Amino acid sequence: MTDKKKKTNEKSFGLNMDVNEAIERYSKVTKEEVQEAESNADIVYEGETQIALFRKKEIRQVFHEEEWYFSIVDAIEALTDTNRPRKYWSDLKKKLTEKEDFLELSEKIGQLPMESADGKSYMTDVVDTETLFRIVQSIPSKKAEPFKKWLARVGYERIQEIQNPEIAIKRAMLTYKAKGYEDDWVAARIQTIASRKELTSEWAKRGVTEGLEYALLTDAISLGTFNLRTKQHMDIKGLKKHHNLRDHMSPLELALTMLDETTAAELTRNLNTRGFKQSEQAAKAGGEVAGKTRKDIENRIGKPIVSKDNYLPESRQQKLKKKSKT
């Protein structure tokens, strides 16, 4: 590979080094680093729905439309120590209604599904970082200033990850290791983060609209690879909407996902696609390549690659128990 081509490859991954080099570098995370990550109260966990900690209080957050949204009720509980945070928020909304600028503020309050303590998903009042700052200013609490600093840090970490994806890779590596995932799984998962970034970067350059069109192209790839749409794949694994499918794939499923997206990205470049329709052809072709590989592997191992196995907390505990008995 020429130096010029290598630099192009590295740039496409959004890294300052080749992706394999980055993965090898960060796969050597020490046990001490993992323990430090676990005890760090300000760590922002990777994932579609995440838990952030403010002074040991859990605050649910969800990444939606390129921005973090926080559970208002969780933030109020962390700030006030009330045992009735929903009632507190209801009363606060009534007080804020009397202010002239509340209408503008209320338009920024949305609802997104979040998992509750009972394991079920409920629509929850959420706001972005800026709006949460404004709500916090209305809450009389000694913790208000520390909370605003914590909130600013969470936002800053996200900006860091956008500007330097190596930080995001290391943060993801630490998080997955802290959660108990094995090294081979973590390496495969990080590969899919890189392949996804490469592919979506190509889509963005070619006028594909983020959101629905990204989802449709992802479905087309999945259909070719696993003969399943994303929703069907999640159903087999017993996952809900807020779960991230890739966090529950086996190393083989992840390897095939990396193959289909890397192939689709390469075909997108080679065909110099423009817009959704042309990109869809490259996506389907990438899925077909990985699908043939899947069938070959299944013929050799004598069983399907896709299974109902997942990495939900209860499943992980069962796996650890089985492993300890052997």
**pLDDT tens-digit profile of 155-206?**
656 555 555 556 667 767 777 877 788 888 988 998 898 899 899 999 999 9
Structural tokens at position 99: 């202010």
Q: Is the pTM of this model over 0.85?
A: no
State the pLDDT at residue 320: 44
CA dist 70 and 50 (Å) reads 10
Q: In which band, very low, low, confident or very high, does the pLDDT at 145 lie, cut at 50, 70 and 90? A: confident
The answer to whether 75 touches 59, Cβ cutoff 8 Å, is yes
Annotated domain spans of the chain = 40-162, 180-325
CA dist 234 → 108, 182, 247 (Å): 31, 21, 11
Q: Assign 21 a pLDDT band (cuts: 50, 70, 90).
A: low
